[in-house]
């Protein structure tokens, strides 16, 4: 009887402590951002980036979009990070040969293909690798 009570208390404490130890989606995206930009320096923000190749555009949930071009990562955060989750697929309506923060980006659910929202971008910031020798 006492053993069951102690085990029950330990289980209850573990349940209470678990949410505090778990990372929020925003914390995970911030960690991912830090990993991606490690060893890189931010450049001058731009409202548009050169023409995209679809296979180089990545979505980082609760953060934004990343486009890799050579040694440069172009990162555009979304204005409302909670509006872009892991299960969202972006549908980008470009109005020229570049991707610009003014372009319309709708999202659909990965499983159901139902419309989930609209994403608004901030400027694209280039992050380039730092030369280790200099």
Predicted structure pTM score: 0.73
- Phi then psi dihedrals of residue 69, to 5 deg: -135, 100
Segment 62-80 shows an average pLDDT of 89
Task: Quote the percentage of the chain above a pLDDT of 90.
Answer: 32
Count the neighbouring beta carbons within 10 Å of the beta carbon of residue 75.
Answer: 25
More confident position, 129 or 3: 129
Count the neighbouring beta carbons within 10 Å of the beta carbon of residue 46.
Answer: 16
Q: What is the pLDDT of residue 54?
A: 58
* DSSP string for 43-79: ---BSEESPP-GGGEEEETTTEEEEEETTEEEEEEES
Q: pLDDT of 79-130, one tens digit each?
A: 887 788 888 888 888 888 888 999 989 999 999 999 999 999 999 999 999 8
> Any idea which of 16-30, 54-68, 77-91 has the lowest mean pLDDT?
16-30
């Amino acid at each position: 009887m006492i053993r069951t009570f102690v085990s029950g208390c330990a289980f209850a404490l573990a349940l209470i402590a678990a949410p505090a130890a778990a990372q929020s989606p925003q914390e995970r995206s911030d960690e991912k951002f830090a990993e991606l930009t490690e060893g890189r320096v931010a450049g001058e923000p731009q409202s548009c980036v050169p023409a995209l190749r679809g296979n180089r555009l990545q979505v980082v949930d609760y953060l934004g979009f990343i486009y890799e071009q050579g040694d440069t990562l172009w990162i555009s955060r979304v204005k409302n990070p909670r509006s872009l989750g892991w299960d969202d697929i972006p549908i980008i309506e470009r109005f020229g040969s570049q991707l610009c923060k003014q372009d319309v980006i709708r999202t659909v659910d990965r499983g159901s293909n139902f419309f989930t929202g609209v994403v608004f971008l901030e400027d694209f910031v280039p992050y380039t690798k730092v030369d280790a020798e200099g």
